[in-house]
A and B are shown apart, each in its own frame.
Chain A
Amino acid sequence: MTGRRLFGHQPHIAQARRDAWLDGLRVVAPALIALFAWGLVTGVAMVKSGLTQWQALGMSLLLFAGSAQLAALPLIAADAPIWVVLLTTAVVNLRFVIFTAGLYPYFRHLPLPRRMLLGYFTGDVSFALSVSRWTTQPLPEHGSRERTWFYLGICSGTWVVWQVSSVAGIFLGGGIPGTWGLDFVAILALLALVLPMIAGGPTIAGALVAGVVAVLAAGAPLKLGLVVAVLAGISVAMAVDILLERMDRHR
């Protein structure tokens, strides 16, 4: 039985795991519609930017990281050096360092390979839904099993929907004429992703500076303007952050 292989042989533990897993799926369900659209767009954008269908499939299945994928596409298309693509990937993914640092207390007791597996499946949606739930409804100490399987429920939902929609986009994208300007959908998707992140003085200042510097340095060789823009943005954001902190203290 696949059920037994998935959830284990002891009936009461299997039941608890299955319930927690289903609970995770239920919680993630409403977010899956948006995720489907986002995956579809990413799939189309990958083949429209010049990746072959196999490369696009490989990227989707291996990375499972929409914003990093979308961010890398214009760089790959513009023949940027690989290290610039990797640096961009790292910067766009830096939020996962923060997310998984937040998840660590809940998964501390698990063996290393499982912690790594849960980390691999961590995305914006799974982090947001799980931690917000766990901080508002703290489970008793013995609830770690429920937490893990609840998290797995969320992640299995996001992973399957992401891959199915990406694959659909990859195969649909090839049939859509380039003149439709679908590459602009990827920019709009990034826009929708970044706007909720830009909240609070430091981030607003940093993003403004990063945007302006990116435009001014757009002609720089090797797409280095992007690197300079990000560094300038972070520096300004940190400066504003420190400034606001000091003003707070003086009040």
Chain B
Amino acid sequence: MSAAEVWITIVLMTVVTVATRTVMLVFGDRIPLPERVQHALRFAPACALTALIAPELLTEQGAWAISLANAKLIAGAIAIAVMLSTRSMIATMGIGMAAYLALRHFG
């Protein structure tokens, strides 16, 4: 992207973000959300973030890379274990990053 395109993207992202945060506060009484829609909206962020993360951990140069040689996959698995057991974001990022650097350095 050119510099101008990046700025346009940032401004439009702001518009989208403000819209998602204000639409219900502006039209609260006029938009009753059906329960089905509420459920669908609740699933969306988890699906989107997983879809972003999965290729980063599971592929290298566009191909499946499920092996012990894939430092990101192993460090990611360690980070998942840390998050599930400690619920601490800082510990997850710290230990995950330390594992990644160690695996790349010594692996």
Contacts and interface: CB of A to CB of B under 8 A. Distances in A.
Interface in B24-72: 24-26, 28-29, 33, 36, 38-59, 62, 64, 72
Interface string A152-165: 00000000000000
A6 interface: no
Contact of B52 (A94, A214, A234): A214
A32 B77 CA distance: 26
B89 A89 contact: no
Interface in A44-84: 51-52, 55, 58-59, 62-65, 67-68, 71-72, 74, 76, 79, 82
Contacts of A214: 50-52, 54-55
A238 B13 contact: no
Nearest to B76: A191
Given A37-B89, A51-B6, A194 B50 contact: yes
Interface stretch (A14-22, A134-142, A202-210): A202-210
B13 A202 contact: no
Contacts of B13: 59, 62-63, 68, 72, 85-86, 89
A120 B18 contact: yes
How many interface residues does chain B have, given as a range? 35 or more
A98 B56 CA distance: 28
Contact of B46 (A74, A103, A206): A206
B75 to A, nearest CB: 7
Nearest to A60: B10
Contacts of B29: 108
A24 to B, nearest CB: 18
A93 B21 contact: yes
Given A72-B13, A234-B43, A195 B84 contact: yes
Interface of B: 1, 3, 5-14, 16-18, 20-26, 28-29, 33, 36, 38-59, 62, 64, 72, 75-76, 79-80, 83-84, 87-90, 92-93, 96-97, 100-101, 104
Given A91-B48, A210-B47, 10 more contacts: A85-B13, A91-B45, A94-B20, A95-B41, A115-B26, A198-B50, A210-B46, A210-B51, A211-B50, A215-B59
11 contacts: A71-B48, A74-B56, A88-B48, A94-B20, A103-B24, A122-B21, A185-B97, A187-B76, A206-B43, A214-B50, A234-B40
Interface of A: 33-34, 37-38, 41, 51-52, 55, 58-59, 62-65, 67-68, 71-72, 74, 76, 79, 82, 85-86, 88-101, 103-104, 107-108, 112, 115-116, 118-120, 122, 180-181, 184-185, 187-198, 202-203, 206-215, 218-219, 225-226, 229-230, 233-234, 237-238, 241
